[in-house]
Amino acid sequence: MTTQGKFKKQLSLSDLTFIGFGAIFGSGWLFSASHVSALAGPSGILSWIIGGFAILLLGLVYCELGAAIPRAGGVVRYPVYSHGPLLGYLIGFITLIAYSSLIAIEVEAARQYAAAWWPSLTQAGSSLPTMTGWLVQFGLLCVFFLLNYWSVKTFAKTNTIVTIFKFFVPALTIIVLLTQMKSGNFSIQGFAPSGFFGIESAISTGGVIFAYLGLTPIVSVASEAKNPQRTIPIALILSVVLSTIVYVLLQIAFLGSIPTDMLANGWSGVGKDFSLPFKDIAAVLGLGWLVFFIVSDAIISPSGTGNIYMSTTPRIVYGWARSGTLFKVFGKVDKKSGIPRPAVWLSFILSVFWTLPFPSWESLISVVSAALVLSYAIAPIAAATFRRNAPDLPRPFYLKGMVILGPLSFIIASFIVYWSGWKTISWLLGSQIVMFVIYLFFKKWVPTEKVSFAQQIKSSLWLVFYYASMIVISYFGLFGGTESVKHPWDLIIVGCVSLITYYWASHTGLPKAIFDDDDVDTYEPIQAKPNVG
C-alpha cells in the first residue's frame, strides 16, 4: 500500500493573487526607494516601469506554461520537460539557493526594522543581529515552518490576512506623502542626473528587480490551485500590474516629499540620509503616527513574504527531486496533508543556514536577484521549445506573438543580469559552469532512462555558451568591468548573444517533450483546445 500522498486543490483565484502580490511586496518597498533615488534621481520612476514591464513579459510566458502544465515546482520542471534533466539540474540548483536565501533575507529585514523599537536586536553600529536578534529570526522561521508543515490552506489564509495589511500601509503612505509633494524636487539636477546608466543601475543594484521577485510562487503552487487554467494567468497578471502601480506611486511620493533643502548636494546622498526611507522621511516630516504604521508594516511585510517563500521553496525542492537529479526522498508528499514534508524540512534548514552572519549581505541580495532573473529567463525558451516538440499540448492560455515576445523577454532578462555587474555575474555564472562540469564528472549516476546523456549535453550546450559569453561581456562592460566596451555597444552585444542563445536553445530541445506521468500532482480536466496562429 502506497504512502505517497497527493497535492490538494485548495487555492482560489484570490488566494493565488494574494500569494503573488504578497511575494512581490516584501522588504523591497521598504528599502529600495532611497537606493533608486540615489542612483537615478527622479528617473528612477522609469526603472520601476521598465522592471515591471520586464516581469510582466515573463509573467505572460508563465501564464501559458502554468495553465498548460500546472506542476508543483514548475519553474524547475519545465526545462526538464523541454531540454532534459541536465538543464533542470542547473536551474534547480540556482533556484534553490535563491529561494531559500530569500526566506532569510526577508526575516533579516523584519528584524532590522524591529530594531527601531527594540535596539537590542541589532549590534551597535552594524546591521548584524545580536544573539537575541538571531533567536527572534529563528523563532520567525519556526513559525513559517509550522504554518507550511501542516496545511497549504492554513498557509494561504494566513497569507491573505497579512497581505491585506501589507497593502493598507503602503497605500496610506502614498496618500499622506503626496500631500507633502514638492514639484521642484523633480527638476533638481535634471530628471535623469546619471543618464540611462543610472536607470539601468537602479533596476539591478538599486533593488528594483529584487522588489519584483515574486512571480514564480504562483506557478510553484499551480497543482494546488482550483481551475488552474483560468486562475493562474489572471493571478499572475493582476499581481504584477498591481505591484507596478504601487511601486511607481511609492517612488513618486518619496521623491516629492523630501525637504528640498536636503537635496542641495544632489541625489547621491539620499541613500545615506534615508537608510530606512519611508520611516525616515515620515520622521523628518514630523509624522510620528505614520512612523508607527510603517515600522509595524516593516515587521509584518517581510515576515509575510518569508512565509510565502517557505511555502514555495519546498515545491522547488520537490520539482527538482521529481526530475531525478536530487535525492528521491525530497519528492515525497505526505498522504494526509498533501504537503511535501521532507522538502519543507530542507527549506527550513537552508533558511536557518542563510541567517548566519555572512559578510557582504547586500552582495548576496544582488546575486539572488540575478539568479532568479536567470531562472525566469528559461521560461520563454521552454515555451518556445514546447511549440516545436509538444505542438499538441493543450494551451488554455495561448500567448499570441510568442515569435516576438519570447526573444524580447529573454533579451530584457539578459540586460537585467548584465546590469547586476561583473562581481555578481562572475560568481554566479561561474558557479553554474562548475556545476555543469560536476554533472559531466558524475556521468554514471545521472538519470538517462528517458533522455540519453548525449542528448542532455546537446540540449544544454547553449546554456554554457550563454554563461561564458555573459561573463566575458561583463568583464569588459561598464558595470564593474574594465569599461572597454561603451554604451550602446555593450547592450547591442548582449542583445545579439541573447538572440543567438534563444534560437539555439529553442531549436536544440528534446526531439519530443517528455512530461512525467505524475501521480502526485492532481489536475482538473482540460477542456480547451489549443489556439492556432
Domains of the chain: 13-507 (1.20.1740.10)
User: Across residues 166-189, what is the average pLDDT?
Assistant: 89
Average pLDDT, whole number, for the chain?
A: 84
Maximum CA pair distance of the chain?
A: 74
pLDDT digits 0-9 by tens, 138-165: 999 998 898 888 765 665 666 667 767 7
* Contact (CB, 8 A) for 340 and 155: no
For 23-75, the DSSP string reads HHSSSHHHHHHHHHHHHHGGGHHHHHHHHHHHHHHHHHHHHHHHHHS--TTHH
* pLDDT at residue 441 in the model: 92
* pLDDT at residue 231 in the model: 80
Specify the range with the lowest mean pLDDT, choosing from 45-49, 233-237, 435-439.
233-237
Q: What is the spatial distance between Cα 28 and Cα 435, in angstroms, rounded to a whole number?
A: 30
User: Across residues 35-48, what is the average pLDDT?
Assistant: 93
Question: Which candidate, 379, 386, 66, places its Cα nearest to that of 235?
Answer: 66
**Residue 40 neighbours by CB under 8 Å, 6+ apart:** 46, 47, 192, 193, 194, 198, 199, 201, 202, 206, 267
* pLDDT at residue 288 in the model: 92
C-alpha to C-alpha distances, 13 to 150, 154, 307, nearest whole angstrom = 22, 16, 19
- The pTM of this model reads 0.81
Q: What is the spatial distance between Cα 429 and Cα 423, in angstroms, rounded to a whole number?
A: 10
Q: What is the spatial distance between Cα 346 and Cα 340, in angstroms, rounded to a whole number?
A: 10
**Residue 333 neighbours by CB under 8 Å, 6+ apart:** 4, 5, 6, 7, 318, 339, 340, 341, 520
Residue 413 pLDDT > 80: yes
* pLDDT at residue 215 in the model: 67
* pLDDT at residue 519 in the model: 43
Give me the helix-helix angle, 13-24 and 288-322, nearest 10°. Answer: 110
Number of neighbours of residue 32 by Cβ within 10 angstroms:
26
Q: What is the spatial distance between Cα 465 and Cα 493, in angstroms, rounded to a whole number?
A: 14
pLDDT digits 0-9 by tens, 8-36: 566 777 777 777 777 777 677 787 888 89
Residue 221 pLDDT > 70: no
Categorize the per-residue pLDDT at 524 as very low, low, confident or very high, splitting at 50, 70 and 90.
very low
Residue 55 C-alpha cell reads as: 516581469
Report which residue type is found at 215: L
pLDDT digits 0-9 by tens, 266-288: 888 887 778 778 888 999 999 99
Residue 179 pLDDT > 90: yes
Residue 11 C-alpha cell reads as: 487555492
Residue 125 pLDDT > 70: yes
User: Across residues 39-67, what is the average pLDDT?
Assistant: 88
Categorize the per-residue pLDDT at 526 as very low, low, confident or very high, splitting at 50, 70 and 90.
very low
* pLDDT at residue 151 in the model: 64
